[in-house]
Amino acid sequence: MSQGVPGIPPPEVVQRALGKAASSPLSFGYTSWDGEPTLRAALANEMKTTYGKGSDIQVEDVALTSGCNLAFVAAVMSLADAGDEVVLPVPWMALNLLGIKAVPLKARPEDGFTPSVEACRGLITSKTRAIVLITPNNPTGATYSPSLIASFFTLAREKNVALIIDETYRDFITTNEPPHTLFSSKINYPGAAPSSTSSPFPNHTAFQAIGSARLSPRLSFSRRSSACWTRSKSSPPRPIQLALAPLLQDLRGFVKQTAVQLRDRHALFKERLPEGWRIGAQGGYFAFVRHPYPRVKALDVSRRLAEEVGVVTLPASFFTEDKRELSEETVINDWGAVELAGPVEEEERWIRFSVANVDDERVKGVLNVIMFLNLNHHIGPYSREHLTFLEDEEYWRSALENYAADPSIASDAQDKAPCESSFKVGVSGAKVYFEVAFSRRESGQATADGAAFPLVSVKGDSLSRKEQEWWQSVVEEKKAEVSGSEYPIYELVSLHLLPLLHETLTTRQEPIHESEDSRLPHVGREIYHVLFTSHHLISPNKRRLLQQWSSSLSIVGFAKVGYPGVIYAQGERSNVEEFVSNIKAMQWLALKVRFVEPLPLELVNSDRGSGKLGEDQRWKEFSKVGKVVEEMRRIGREAYVVEMGIGSAGVNSES
Which of 221, 248, 275 represents a domain boundary (last residue)? Answer: 248
- Per the CB < 8 A criterion, the answer to whether 567 and 546 are in contact is yes
CA distances from 138 to 111, 163, 282 (A): 16, 17, 10
Amino acid 131: pLDDT: 94
| pTM of the predicted structure, to 2 decimals | 0.60
With residue 130 as reference, give the H or E element that holds it: strand 128-134
Strand order in the sheet with 278-283: 278-283, 286-290, 350-354, 314-315
Which of 374, 395, 422 represents a domain boundary (last residue)? Answer: 374
The whole domain housing 310 covers: 255-374
Q: What is the spatial distance between Cα 33 and Cα 637, in angstroms, rounded to a whole number?
A: 77
Is residue 13, in this structure, part of any structural domain at all? no
- Per the CB < 8 A criterion, the answer to whether 197 and 167 are in contact is yes
Please tell me whether residues 61 and 179 are part of one structural domain. Answer: yes
CA distances from 417 to 394, 420, 490, 544 (A): 12, 8, 18, 27
Angle at 105 between CA 297 and CA 266, to 5 degrees: 60
Is residue 27, in this structure, part of any structural domain at all? no
Please tell me whether residues 461 and 591 are part of one structural domain. Answer: no
> Across the strands, what pairs with 621?
559
Q: What is the spatial distance between Cα 329 and Cα 164, in angstroms, rounded to a whole number?
A: 34
Q: Fill in the amino acid letter for 44.
A: A
CB atoms under 10 Å from CB of 28, counted, come to: 10
Q: What is the spatial distance between Cα 78 and Cα 223, in angstroms, rounded to a whole number?
A: 9
Please tell me whether residues 349 and 431 are part of one structural domain. Answer: no
Please tell me whether residues 123 and 230 are part of one structural domain. Answer: yes
Amino acid 70: pLDDT: 79
Q: Fill in the amino acid letter for 115.
A: P
Please tell me whether residues 340 and 413 are part of one structural domain. Answer: no
Please tell me whether residues 285 and 237 are part of one structural domain. Answer: no
Supply the CATH number for residue 87's domain. 3.40.640.10
- Torsion angle in degrees (nearest 10) through CA of 433, 439, 445, 451: 120
Amino acid 567: pLDDT: 92
69 class by beta-carbon count within 10 Å (0-12 exposed, 13-18 middle, 19+ buried): middle
459 class by beta-carbon count within 10 Å (0-12 exposed, 13-18 middle, 19+ buried): middle
Strand order in the sheet with 85-90: 62-65, 207-210, 194-198, 162-166, 128-134, 85-90, 101-106
DSSP string, 409-436: GHHHHHHHS-SEEEEEEEETT-SEEEEE
Please tell me whether residues 562 and 635 are part of one structural domain. Answer: yes
Q: Can you list the positions of beta strands (E) in 455-564?
A: 455-460, 527-534, 556-560
Q: Fill in the amino acid letter for 302.
A: S
CB atoms under 10 Å from CB of 561, counted, come to: 24
- Per the CB < 8 A criterion, the answer to whether 234 and 35 are in contact is no
Phi, psi of 426 (to 5 degrees): -170, -170
Q: What is the spatial distance between Cα 466 and Cα 464, in angstroms, rounded to a whole number?
A: 5
Q: What is the spatial distance between Cα 302 and Cα 60, in angstroms, rounded to a whole number?
A: 45
Is residue 522, in this structure, part of any structural domain at all? no
Among candidates 516, 541, 524, 544, which has minimal Cα distance to 610? 516
Is residue 4, in this structure, part of any structural domain at all? no
Please tell me whether residues 368 and 465 are part of one structural domain. Answer: no
Q: What is the spatial distance between Cα 466 and Cα 512, in angstroms, rounded to a whole number?
A: 9
Supply the CATH number for residue 318's domain. 3.90.1150.10
Is residue 25, in this structure, part of any structural domain at all? no
How many independent structural domains does the chain possess? 4
Among candidates 426, 447, 446, which has minimal Cα distance to 436? 426
Strand order in the sheet with 592-598: 592-598, 527-534, 565-572, 556-560, 620-622
> Across the strands, what pairs with 45?
none
Q: What is the spatial distance between Cα 441 and Cα 452, in angstroms, rounded to a whole number?
A: 8
> Across the strands, what pairs with 205?
none
| Spans of the chain, pLDDT less than 50 | 189-194, 197, 200, 203-223, 324-325, 327, 373-377, 441-444, 446-450, 507-524, 609-611, 614-615, 649-655
Please tell me whether residues 393 and 439 are part of one structural domain. Answer: yes
> Across the strands, what pairs with 208?
64, 198
Sorted by sequence, the CB contacts under 8 Å of residue 393 that are 6+ apart come out as none
Please tell me whether residues 239 and 269 are part of one structural domain. Answer: no
Q: Can you list the positions of beta strands (E) in 309-375?
A: 314-315, 350-354
Packing angle between helix 360-372 and helix 252-272, nearest 10 degrees?
20
Is residue 357, in this structure, part of any structural domain at all? yes
Amino acid 611: pLDDT: 46
Alpha helices in 26-163 (DSSP H): 37-51, 68-79, 117-121, 146-159
Sorted by sequence, the CB contacts under 8 Å of residue 431 that are 6+ apart come out as 460, 461, 462, 463, 509
CA distances from 156 to 86, 87, 118, 137, 301 (A): 12, 11, 12, 20, 39
pLDDT tens digit sequence for 123-165? 999 999 999 999 999 999 999 999 999 999 999 999 999 999 9
Is residue 5, in this structure, part of any structural domain at all? no
Please tell me whether residues 584 and 615 are part of one structural domain. Answer: yes
Amino acid 235: pLDDT: 64
Which of 374, 397, 431 represents a domain boundary (last residue)? Answer: 374
Alpha helices in 145-194 (DSSP H): 146-159
Sorted by sequence, the CB contacts under 8 Å of residue 398 that are 6+ apart come out as none
Q: What is the spatial distance between Cα 219 and Cα 225, in angstroms, rounded to a whole number?
A: 9
Please tell me whether residues 204 and 332 are part of one structural domain. Answer: no
571 class by beta-carbon count within 10 Å (0-12 exposed, 13-18 middle, 19+ buried): buried
Phi, psi of 234 (to 5 degrees): -85, -20
Buried b (16+ CB within 10 A) or exposed e, 128-147: bbbbbbbbbbbbbbbbbeee
Is residue 1, in this structure, part of any structural domain at all? no
The one-character DSSP state at 55 is B
pLDDT tens digit sequence for 154-194? 999 999 999 999 888 888 888 878 888 888 755 554 444 44
